[in-house]
Amino acid sequence: MKIKLIADSCCDLNEVLRKKLKINLVPLSIRINEKQYLDDNKLDLNLLVEDMKNSSDYPRTSCPSPNDFIEAFKGEEDVFAVTMSSKISGTYNSAMLAKKIVLEQFGNKFIHVFDSLSASVGETLVSMKILELVKNNYEKLHVIEKINEYIKDMKTFFVLESLDNLIKSGRIGVLKGKVASMLSIKPIMRGTDEGTIDKVETVRGSKKVFKRLVDIIGEHGEKLEKKVLGIAHCNNLERAKQIKNEVLKRYNFKDIIIVETGGISTVYANEGGIIIAF
């Protein structure tokens, strides 16, 4: 089966995965005040982080247009596409509309769009699983069945090192946010089974919160020896490596990958943020 893998730009990669997956990323856009960024491989992430810090407003994101996905869907290959959760972005709906338009024009083309119910490295793991199944000669309908099971079973957690964007967007009151920052109170968040975001708990201190994150893996994970752990970081490689080393001591994952957040994940996680999926 000759396939084309497509994802939105919230799918975070490293150089090894870019070469292995050969995935086509359809970029979202980011606006800070009147400044517009396209979340592609030309985006200066350090500049984005700096502009977020200096802005009194919070960044806003826009999903790709259906036409952006139509362009990505073109070609003779069968298409598997992965998007961030439809509950936090319109990207999935945009991709589905593009699929409908393409099929009206080329009725015999195979396109399937997966709602990852996650984001960032969660999308990455779904994309990796698709490629694995295709290489093992699974039929297309069987790939869809197995990936839907994989998405349903996958867990996503993240830690916010900075509360700036939550304060600016009004999701946390200014006084409450400043007190939390002064006391080094860090929230641990999770992706729900429905693809929304929920708070798990708050922990005081960076060292404690990341230790707690590793504990959570054991509390929520099953059959870890058959799974890959994905760790995404926003300018926090050393912490990502520390988490990986601690996980290696305590759990027996099939593999562990570390990726850096792209533009969209950086907006959500903010500088220092860590996202894990398994």
Quote the pLDDT of residue 107.
84
Question: Going along 161-241, which residue ranges are E strands?
Answer: 185-191, 197-204, 228-233
Are residues 90 and 215 both part of a single domain? Answer: no
Are residues 102 and 201 both part of a single domain? Answer: no
Name the residue type at position 153: D
Are residues 69 and 93 both part of a single domain? Answer: yes
Whether the CB-CB separation of 115 and 82 falls below 8 Å is answered with no
Question: Going along the chain, which residue ranges are E strands?
Answer: 3-8, 24-26, 29-32, 35-38, 60-62, 78-83, 111-115, 156-159, 185-191, 197-204, 228-233, 255-260, 274-277
Quote the pLDDT of residue 230.
98
Asked, for residue 273, whether it belongs to a domain, the answer is yes
Among 152, 178, 206, which residue terminates a domain? Answer: 152
The domain of 24 spans 3-28+63-152
Are residues 165 and 84 both part of a single domain? Answer: no
Are residues 172 and 121 both part of a single domain? Answer: no
Are residues 146 and 166 both part of a single domain? Answer: no
- pLDDT digit string, tens, across residues 31-42: 999 899 999 999
For tokens 């994101």, what's the residue?
Answer: 61
Quote the pLDDT of residue 269.
86
Q: Which two tokens stand for residue 238?
A: 């050393």
Asked, for residue 219, whether it belongs to a domain, the answer is yes
Are residues 146 and 10 both part of a single domain? Answer: yes
Could you tell me the CATH number of the domain that includes residue 98?
Answer: 3.40.50.10440
Are residues 165 and 148 both part of a single domain? Answer: no
**In DSSP terms, which residues pair with 62 in a beta bridge?**
29
Asked, for residue 92, whether it belongs to a domain, the answer is yes
Are residues 184 and 216 both part of a single domain? Answer: yes
Among 152, 184, 216, which residue terminates a domain? Answer: 152
Asked, for residue 56, whether it belongs to a domain, the answer is no
Asked, for residue 40, whether it belongs to a domain, the answer is no
Quote the pLDDT of residue 180.
43
Asked, for residue 51, whether it belongs to a domain, the answer is no
Are residues 166 and 147 both part of a single domain? Answer: no
Quote the pLDDT of residue 58.
85
- Taking only the tens of pLDDT, the chain with its 278 residues reads 799 999 999 999 999 999 999 999 999 999 999 899 999 999 999 999 999 989 888 899 999 999 999 999 999 999 999 999 999 999 999 999 999 999 999 888 999 999 999 999 999 999 999 999 999 999 999 999 999 999 999 999 999 877 666 556 554 444 444 444 554 778 888 999 999 988 888 898 888 999 999 999 999 999 999 999 999 999 999 999 999 999 999 999 999 999 999 999 999 888 899 999 99
Asked, for residue 47, whether it belongs to a domain, the answer is no
Are residues 160 and 91 both part of a single domain? Answer: no
Quote the pLDDT of residue 24.
97
Rounded CA-CA distance 109/143 in Å is 16
Are residues 129 and 166 both part of a single domain? Answer: no
Among 88, 120, 152, which residue terminates a domain? Answer: 152
Could you tell me the CATH number of the domain that includes residue 265?
Answer: 3.30.1180.10
**Domain count along the chain:** 2
Quote the pLDDT of residue 198.
86
Asked, for residue 192, whether it belongs to a domain, the answer is yes
pTM for this model (two decimals): 0.93
